Amino acid sequence: VQRLHLPPLLRRSALEFSVDKMPKKGGKGKPKAKGGASEEGAELTAEEREQKAKLRIEALERELVQRTDVMNRALQAHNEMRQKQKELLQDFENEKNNTFAITADMTRQYKSMQEELLRRINTLENSIQELKDQLELARQVDLACQHGQ
């Protein structure tokens, strides 16, 4: 399984994109100032909470767009690799078939040449035998002629 390399920006969680983190509930924090709320410990107004939520939504949407883009590029690369693999397999099959055809043709040529050589050898052996027979016949005729004189 091949893992995608994600840039550091995309490895961050959605919470890291939010402008302001929500305070921990029920935890020990700084004591609130008496007689009024300090800036850090103050309750957020509805408008501030809405603004904070909007910023978080925007951050999450940006992260979604980035991750979708990364996914789309990965899918495109995957599809390109599949296509390349398909082309290479087709090329391999073509070469294999071509090699088989060449081998078959060369085998046919070899057998044809072998048959031709065997025919030629047989023809020449027959010619040699005929010439030997003629030579023997000529010697017998010559021998008969010499005895008949």
> Is pLDDT of 59 > 50?
yes
The mean pLDDT value for 21-43 works out to 52
Distances (CA, A) of 57 to 38, 61, 64, 66, 67: 27, 6, 10, 14, 15
**Length reported for the chain:** 149
Q: How high is the pLDDT of residue 100?
A: 97
Which percentage of the chain shows pLDDT scores above 90?
64
Count Cα atoms within 13 angstroms, Cβ side, for 133. 6
Predicted confidence (pLDDT) per residue in 117-143, tens digit: 999 999 999 999 999 999 999 999 998
